[in-house]
Chain A
């Protein structure tokens, strides 16, 4: 009894900081949008949104583009996720990097790169002109397909992660079974693999849909300015400081629209996954006399599977190239925007041209000699470091606070992860409106708080996965050997948690360094983070200067990824079991 109360208090103290952060810096800002939106002349405001064809078009455009991008992302990512879930060794490592590096590269950088690919004098037009396929450059930029393309590119890594976690658990023999029963590859995939991955598809689709609904960078850079998206309108309302109440009303509109569609997705997924919740067993009638079985029918072979093509040998031959062709195409699509930055950043021209007319270091010299860029980089570093430390501390406290046996683990985890499930632009809007009241807008503290809210859930996920891979019997062993709870943590739990925390720290640093949405909302004149400065730079002139900054950001990402891999792989060599097998649970 006393021991139970002790555990309850201990848990309470460990979880208090997290709860305070979520309450003050996450829930409060979100709640703050409502009074702003509904205060005074609310009816007029919402009438302006829903009655005017302009805003109705904006809402419809937002939903349409988001649905298009989500659907394409799902189709394109599914095979990659399957291959990644089956890959081992060097192939697994390379496929993992293919997904991880773009994931950790700033959305701003990835979107910007499309300017150099799709522009009037960009990579695609230059190539087509050279091959003589066209005589005039195609107007590829500032169109809906350009926005969808960039959004799909940004979404692939997240979708793959969501799918892989489910596909890993699918027994590969089930596909073999489908083949022996007469299904060709396509039918086996659609009839068996897709239904089994329904949970991953559900979470991936919801994550991507929320992400695309909330995106304003891609439509701002690549979209047709007469065809704006909601988040874009919200952002410009805030940036021009015009009408906060109207921005809040738009935020509410976005949140409600997104919620309705997400609920729709969930209902469809629930229907499709109803087999995972079979009801009570149908009453089993005890078998009376064994019925006469028609064995003659079973002896007779059923018709062979129909072949739609008459030359199966040729099809088999062709099928051998499907996988390499797909992998090649998807790799080019994922990597091209990253790779293209490098030649562009060494361009000698004043404008964004591909291929560059000549090469020089002038843009790098310009950045490194510029006080503004250096100051922005230092600001981002300071914010990143602070976010990293705060996120780590909060993640450790949360993991320990939840412990191993927590009755409300599911609900509590959903609470901790809730910042990831709200469209980032809505949170950024709420944070802006709230922080403005307490003087935190345009300060480093404000951005650090917002980044911590957005990033600590990710660190928590990494730390929690590491924690659950630690054998719980070790703590009992340490206790039986005379260690008190603090010394158990210091000598056993913490050292084993360290690799997970190191990866989490790198991740937090990088995500904060690259975070664009909250940074763009919360910084203005006095505090400029690197993404904010880059955002301004690209908006006002798309010179190779921005490409050089982007290339450097990409370089930072690569260095951090390599460092992270060194941590994980080095650790695995020493402790081959810590990350592989789940330990036996305590009784």
Chain B
């Protein structure tokens, strides 16, 4: 049925303009069958518009959308075979859970016996068999979420779209649902496109993440790559905490210098560049440290210390005025020299540095 050699979904130069506003700007993207793809961006970044284009509620101004190799521009939403889970679930309040789940089957004229089997299987899949007779108003947020998911999966769609599906749930329930979504996706092997603004959610669940801003797709990669090697300032700042430092390239891009400290890079880079350092990769050491005088170490002053339970987050100020974040795990022997105003040395390994084209340069 599904041809695994073709991408499940393919956006080809898709642009959507509303008057003067460009909501989606020249997006090209292939999503493989069985992939869990997260579309990550803040509100207004165009991710929901992209979803609407795929679901068929809107048509691209330019470019085209293909599913399994065929253009879907002439296929109306109700014939696209895409299951959608909406942000607020959009359950039908006048139908109980089983009727909600049976709705897409009725629309397809599925016979009674198969319908009942499918509804039972779908509700079983989301562990909600015992609440089939409840109306949405009688279900908790998490249970409504499960009904919406069962309803979107019951008719065996080729693709599952989820628009901020966990946004309305509290932290604990969200973690639980994340686990379950992963399990269900594994059991069904369905392709999932998951729209969210929550980076930790995207990291936890997706095979690949696409980051959107201002209607453009900035970077597409697996979570590890996108975190360790962001392609732009925006992506670096968007995913987790980081410090972006202006540095002077040395040896034609084979290394850099920052407030007098020099470090070589694993591979040469195009100059000029900035570097990204994640707080967890920065270690802080007391200033008079004779043993490693030749090693790389950036002199800095402690500006601020925040206690976070599992450790501390320290804001450092370099002598050229740039600021640097470091996170220090409890257990490090730090009590002696951590204090606002104290001079210290900050270190990080060359492999933990990500290099970005300097802002403002082409």
Contacts and interface: CB of A to CB of B under 8 A. Distances in A.
A binds B: yes
A287 interface: yes
B78 A300 contact: no
A278 B137 contact: yes
Contacts of A196: 93-94
A192 to B, nearest CB: 6
A298 interface: yes
Interface stretch (B82-90, B166-174, B217-225, B304-312): B82-90
A295 interface: yes
A293 to B, nearest CB: 4
A227 to B, nearest CB: 40
A176 interface: yes
Contact of A304 (B1, B81, B154): B81
Contacts of A307: 79
A297 interface: yes
A49 B141 CA distance: 59
Interface string B131-174: 10111011000000000000111111110000000000000000
A291 B124 contact: yes
A182 interface: yes
A304 B138 contact: no
Contacts of B120: 294
A281 B138 contact: yes
A299 B57 contact: no
B125 A293 contact: yes
A298 B154 contact: yes
Contacts of B118: 297-298, 302
B77 A180 contact: yes
B90 A281 contact: no
Interface stretch (B102-110, B244-252, B350-358): B102-110
Given A187-B107, A282-B134, A176 B74 contact: no
A171 B88 contact: yes
Given A281-B138, A298-B121, A183 B78 contact: yes
A183 B107 CA distance: 6
A2 interface: no
A301 B95 contact: no
Interface in A281-335: 281-282, 284-287, 290-291, 293-295, 297-307, 312-313, 316
Nearest to A284: B130
A195 B87 CA distance: 22
B156 A182 contact: no
B107 A287 contact: no
B110 A278 contact: no
Contact of A181 (B56, B88, B104, B121): B104
A184 interface: yes
Contact of B104 (A171, A182, A184): A182
B189 A299 contact: yes
A351 interface: no
A275 B79 contact: no
Contact of B155 (A173, A191, A302): A302
B260 interface: no
Contact of B103 (A171, A181, A306): A181
A300 B1 CA distance: 9
A171 B90 contact: yes
Contact of B86 (A173, A183, A300, A303): A173
A307 B114 CA distance: 21
Contacts of A313: 74
A174 interface: yes
Interface in B273-304: none
A276 B130 CA distance: 21
A487 interface: no
Contacts, number: 150
B156 A181 contact: no
Contacts of A177: 84, 86, 90-92
Nearest to A188: B78
A293 B124 contact: yes
Contact of B130 (A180, A183, A191, A285): A285
A179 interface: yes
Interface residues on B, range: 35 or more
B57 A179 contact: yes
B122 interface: yes
A400 interface: no
Given A295-B125, A299-B189, A300-B156, A176 B130 contact: no
Given A177-B90, A290-B127, A298-B153, A303 B77 contact: no
Contacts of B82: 180
A183 B108 CA distance: 8
Contact of A278 (B57, B88, B135, B155): B135
Nearest to B84: A180
B249 to A, nearest CB: 51
B83 A180 contact: yes
Contact of B117 (A184, A278, A294): A294
A178 interface: yes
B76 interface: yes
A302 B137 contact: no
Given A187-B107, A275-B135, A297 B94 contact: no
A287 B129 contact: yes
Among B57, B78, B134, the most chain A Cβ lie within 10 Å of the Cβ of B78
Interface in A139-158: none
Contacts of A275: 93-96, 135
B187 to A, nearest CB: 5
A121 to B, nearest CB: 49
B80 interface: yes
Among A179, A195, A282, A313, the most chain B Cβ lie within 10 Å of the Cβ of A179
Interface in B1-21: 1
A176 B79 CA distance: 13
Contacts of B158: 301
A305 to B, nearest CB: 5
A455 B88 CA distance: 41
Given A171-B88, A178-B103, A312 B74 contact: yes
Contact of A182 (B79, B117, B137): B79
Nearest to A306: B109
Interface in A374-402: none
Nearest to B115: A302
A301 B81 contact: yes
A180 B55 contact: yes
A171 B148 CA distance: 15
A195 B96 CA distance: 14
A106 B152 CA distance: 51
B307 to A, nearest CB: 34
A119 B231 CA distance: 76
Nearest to B150: A298
A101 B243 CA distance: 62
A176 to B, nearest CB: 6
Contacts of B157: 301
B168 to A, nearest CB: 13
Interface of B: 1, 55-57, 74-84, 86-88, 90-96, 103-105, 107-110, 114, 117-118, 120-122, 124-125, 127, 129-131, 133-135, 137-138, 151-158, 187-190
24 contacts: A177-B84, A178-B103, A179-B78, A180-B78, A180-B84, A184-B76, A184-B78, A276-B94, A278-B135, A282-B134, A285-B130, A287-B129, A293-B121, A293-B125, A294-B120, A299-B190, A300-B156, A301-B155, A301-B157, A301-B158, A302-B110, A302-B155, A302-B156, A312-B75
Given A180-B152, A302-B154, 6 more contacts: A171-B88, A180-B55, A182-B107, A196-B94, A278-B138, A301-B155
